[in-house]
Structure 1
């Protein structure tokens, strides 16, 4: 393996670094975007119980903010529970934008890696071909050994770039879809909260 990397030339270093970054981001986001971490199943039931029984306190809201991404959104709604529905919606939407930004963190880097890796491989190919032509200029075409290094460098870097780009692109698409699914589910829970608070306000009135 080391011999292959060595034969790939100078561009193998950035390509290997890109592969490490891709793996690290993918594993970190897989852990962070687990449903139980973003949308704890018991959290919604607990919040509805507080709303129905009128037991919402500041300590509950503070705990929600530290609980999960969904908790932050619900806490924003509960913090404005005594205000107009439009204000509640705006508070939830504003918090939701920050939460989505946090869920999306690092995912854009995967898209960048997926775009750059083939280009790095192509650059390695060009460098390898330049070496090949230099060898031809120096030693002529009668010595195949003098051409092998440049050709090997060209082929190896191309393959390495694609090997990194394809998984990076798949990881990018998967995580984007994962975030979109979680956002839709959080929106549903937020709408339920707004309706519950509005219903409670009507009952009090």
Structure 2
């Protein structure tokens, strides 16, 4: 551990000024990653638990009890289904209920995606800070070498290049994990969204099967049939 600590301290000492802002970017990215991972894991567990508790009510087709449950529970999946149940009070058309649940999904998504996009931005910032540190380090090196003693030129140039390369390396060390974390969080968010969509479709299918709502195709067929009957009477 002592050797690792000394290596890190030496790296920061030889890395130049831009090492510190890159380190700050990395710390911010790690904090966001940990917070988002805990939040998404908790939301996923809440969705599973809430929908498992909702299923017995769904099989009974008791709209009042289902509506009461969705209002008391704050899990994303029950919020989306609750939007559909509220619409059922006004319309029995499946398309209308689907549109209402889609609106509920649009309200839920921002909470799941909040701050995740910052990780890709922070990764780009870390990379650019590394490149900027490299360029400024090389400029300073060549400026110093131009006016330095010939015997010291090679030493000063090697030290300056070392600082510049350390800055670039640390920028990449910070950027690569942040991009990986960004991809992992996006995948976790997409998994939660798919589970909500699956639960919404299951809700619609069961309600349609129990004739609590009716599909648009059936409505069209009934309208066509009534139109044909009225034309025959005429």
Q: TM-score range by the shorter chain?
A: 0.7 to 0.9
CA distance in 1: counterparts of 2:113 and 2:125, whole angstroms = 20
Shift of 1:136: 0.7
Shift of 1:149: 4.0
Q: 1:112 aligns with which of 114, 121, 137?
A: 121
Shift of 1:157: 0.5
The count of aligned residue pairs is 202
What do the CA deviations read for 1:139-180 (whole angstroms, capped 9, x no partner)? Answer: 044204433442232011111100001101111111111211
Q: 1:77 aligns with which of 65, 73, 84?
A: 84
Shift of 1:51: 2.9
Larger radius of gyration: 2
Q: Secondary structure at the match of 2:210?
A: helix
Q: 1:51 aligns with which of 28, 52, 58?
A: 58
**Residues 141 and 117 of structure 1: is their aligned pair in 2 closer, same or farther, counting only changes over 3 Å?**
farther
CA distance in 2: counterparts of 1:179 and 1:105, whole angstroms = 10
Residue in 2 that maps onto 1:32: 39
Matched, 1:60 2:42: no
TM-score using structure 2 length: 0.77
Q: 1:158 aligns with which of 162, 168, 176?
A: 168
Q: Is contact 1:8-1:154 (8 Å) kept?
A: yes
**Residues 141 and 29 of structure 1: is their aligned pair in 2 closer, same or farther, counting only changes over 3 Å?**
farther
CA distance in 1: counterparts of 2:189 and 2:212, whole angstroms = 35
Q: 2:140 aligns with which of 131, 153, 177?
A: 131
Q: Is contact 1:9-1:153 (8 Å) kept?
A: yes
Unaligned runs of 5+ in 2: 1-7, 215-234
